[in-house]
Amino acid sequence: MNLFLFTFTRTIFNTAYRMAYPFLGVFARALGVDIETMSLALTVRSIGGGITPFVAPLADSRGRKFGMLLGVGLFTLSMALVVFWPTFPVLFLSMLFAAIGKYVFDPAMQAFLSDRISYEKRGRVIAITELGWSLSFVLGVPLMGFLIARDGWMAPFPLLTLLGLLTFFLVVWQIPKDETPVGTAATVRMNFRNVLSYAPALAGLSVGLWMTVANEVVNLIFGVWLEDSFGLQIAALGASAAVIGVSELGGEGLVAIFSDKLGKERAVAFGLVANSLAALLLPLLGRTTFGALLGLFFFYITFEFTIVSILPMMTEVMPSARATLMSFNVAALSLGRAIGAPLGPFLYRFGFPVVALGAVLFNFIALMALRRLAKSR
């Protein structure tokens, strides 16, 4: 039951998080701002993940359930803001605090599961909760596209507010009060120092950071690329989101099947190489609508396989400060998105093949960091 609740909650969070990408132009036009301004808002949203290590470690000191409730509460309040004040500044703040809510919830949930599941089986369990990422694109984003096309750009926010309230009460009701001992401020500071001075932790964080940069330069621009190349409308962009979601669903399924058998580090290395090959294929396949969607399918299935393999790997790098390290991992991933968000439109000025080459370069840096992690452990 807990796995179902976690997957459901993450589907809601990630729907709100991810709908900005395919509908970036829609939100920009409705609010009277340009694409660069919206991409800057996404950059700041990602930078907001940088404060996660100062909030999410409460799951080490105050308990996993407290951390999860804090994350759901922040998300719900942020969605409600747009319902009452539908303006660009409020949307900007809503996106920021919804992301922080997600960034607080995820490490607490991952620590909760890691406390209870052995490392040998943890890849499958984490992969199941990560279905919330792909399901947001398979189900959530197309639904948001339908609502936007019917009722306007702010139509998703009342529904997301109600779903946030529902998940808050489900977490209160379903998740047992954990027995994590309450720590002190000194304990939190010590965990910070331990993470920042431990070479394997820093190497692992670098893997996630650079591979996320690689993904984000494509992620931010694919909707604009499809519009520019093929003139796709809102409904078609929603369909492209579903294609990507299906590919991610496949990536998570592959992790559930293979990551525990292959070993987490080997699975991450395989994923980085495969994702780089997929990025190189994108410009070649993207000469037709079908080819572009097929290329995106391969790109996202390999990325999802890699990122989901990283999560269980990181849960065991520093078990004594698990939630703290996982919060730093969230910060690294969000920093990667913050770096990639402005790079995407910049590289796109030189053509989509340059965007793809940029993704390959950042994946290579991530592979070097993974090699360092393997040597330092």
pLDDT digits (tens, 9 = 90+) for 257-283: 888 888 888 999 999 999 999 999 988
- Residues in CB range of 38: below 8 A, 6 or more apart: 20, 24, 27, 28
Tracing tokens 């909650």 back to the chain, one arrives at: 9
Query: What values do phi and psi take at 180, rounded to 5?
Result: -60, 125
pLDDT at position 239 is 63
Tracing tokens 């304990």 back to the chain, one arrives at: 187
Residue 40 has pLDDT above 90, yes or no: no
Q: Please report which confidence band the pLDDT of residue 233 belongs to, taking 50, 70 and 90 as the band edges.
A: low
For residues 238 and 226, is the Cβ–Cβ distance under 8 A?
A: no
DSSP-based three-state secondary structure for 9: helix
Question: What digits encode the pLDDT tens for the residues 320-373?
Answer: 778 788 888 888 887 888 788 888 888 988 988 899 999 999 999 999 999 999
Q: Please report which confidence band the pLDDT of residue 111 belongs to, taking 50, 70 and 90 as the band edges.
A: confident
Residue 183 has pLDDT above 80, yes or no: no
What would the two tokens of residue 263 be? 């070993």
What is the average pLDDT across 215-220?
Answer: 87
For residues 209 and 335, is the Cβ–Cβ distance under 8 A?
A: yes
Which range (7-16, 116-125, 211-220, 297-306) has the least confidence? 116-125
CB atoms within 10 A of CB 54: 12
Per DSSP, helices labelled H in the chain are 2-18, 24-31, 35-47, 52-55, 58-61, 64-84, 88-114, 119-129, 131-135, 141-151, 156-174, 185-196, 199-219, 222-230, 234-262, 264-285, 289-315, 322-348, 352-376
- Amino acid symbol at 105: F
Compute the distance between CA of residue 277 and CA of residue 367 in angstroms, rounded to an integer: 14
Q: DSSP letter string over 109-131?
A: HHHHHHTTS-HHHHHHHHHHHTH
Compute the distance between CA of residue 246 and CA of residue 284 in angstroms, rounded to an integer: 22
Q: What's the CATH class of domain 2-376?
A: mainly alpha
pLDDT at position 57 is 64
Residue 225 has pLDDT above 60, yes or no: yes
Compute the distance between CA of residue 318 and CA of residue 307 in angstroms, rounded to an integer: 18
Compute the distance between CA of residue 82 and CA of residue 332 in angstroms, rounded to an integer: 28
Compute the distance between CA of residue 128 and CA of residue 122 in angstroms, rounded to an integer: 10
The dihedral built from the CA positions of residue 142, 147, 150 and 152, taken in this order, carries a sign that is: negative
Compute the distance between CA of residue 39 and CA of residue 219 in angstroms, rounded to an integer: 11
Compute the distance between CA of residue 154 and CA of residue 162 in angstroms, rounded to an integer: 14
pLDDT at position 232 is 58
* Average predicted confidence (pLDDT) for the chain: 84
DSSP-based three-state secondary structure for 154: coil
As a whole number of Å, the CA-based R_g of the chain is 19
- The domain limits of the chain are 2-376
Q: Please report which confidence band the pLDDT of residue 286 belongs to, taking 50, 70 and 90 as the band edges.
A: confident
For residues 369 and 207, is the Cβ–Cβ distance under 8 A?
A: yes
What is the average pLDDT across 162-185?
Answer: 79
Residue 306 has pLDDT above 90, yes or no: yes
